[in-house]
Amino acid sequence: AQSVTQPDIHITVSEGASLELRCNYSYGATPYLFWYVQSPGQGLQLLLKYFSGDTLVQGIKGFEAEFKRSQSSFNLRKPSVHWSDAAEYFCAVAAGDYKLSFGAGTTVTVRA
């Protein structure tokens, strides 16, 4: 079965600084990979997804992620964070049965 590991429980970053969130997945075949963001009291919103093709994927809100098969990773990046990026971020993987398996999430705090 597929699984996802997000090694960082909590990251604090200064406003305007760059951000990188790590995600490692476990799946035997080519996975479908997703990043979601959850703001307090809100549902999850899809930031970006990877199915095939270009390994650098652009998403909403200025986020991008890079799929690295050799490292089983799908790390999320943003060049310059805004205070509104403070939220919880979830990486997820889906296998052929359409079931999403989520990581435990990374909480991002943005300091002024």
Partner 1 sequence: EAGVVQSPRYKIIEKKQPVAFWCNPISGHNTLYWYLQNLGQGPELLIRYENEEAVDDSQLPKDRFSAERLKGVDSTLKIQPAELGDSAVYLCASSPRLAVYNEQFFGPGTRLTVL
Which residues in this chain contact partner 1 in the complex, by CB under 8 A?
A: 4, 9, 32, 36, 41-46, 49, 51, 90, 92, 94-100, 102-105
> Closest CB to partner 1 among 4 and 19?
4
> Closest CB to partner 1 among 15 and 32?
32
> Closest CB to partner 1 among 18 and 42?
42
Torsion, Cα 107 31 71 27, to 10 degrees, reads: 100
CB 10 within 8 A of CB 109: yes
CB of 38 to partner 1, least distance (A): 8
> Closest CB to partner 1 among 12 and 14?
12
44: Cβ–Cβ under 8 A, 6 or more apart, which residues?
36, 37, 38, 90
* Token pair listed for 39: 């703001």
CB 23 within 8 A of CB 35: yes
- For residue 58, the tally of other CB atoms under 10 A from its CB is 10
CB of 77 to partner 1, least distance (A): 20
CB of 16 to partner 1, least distance (A): 28
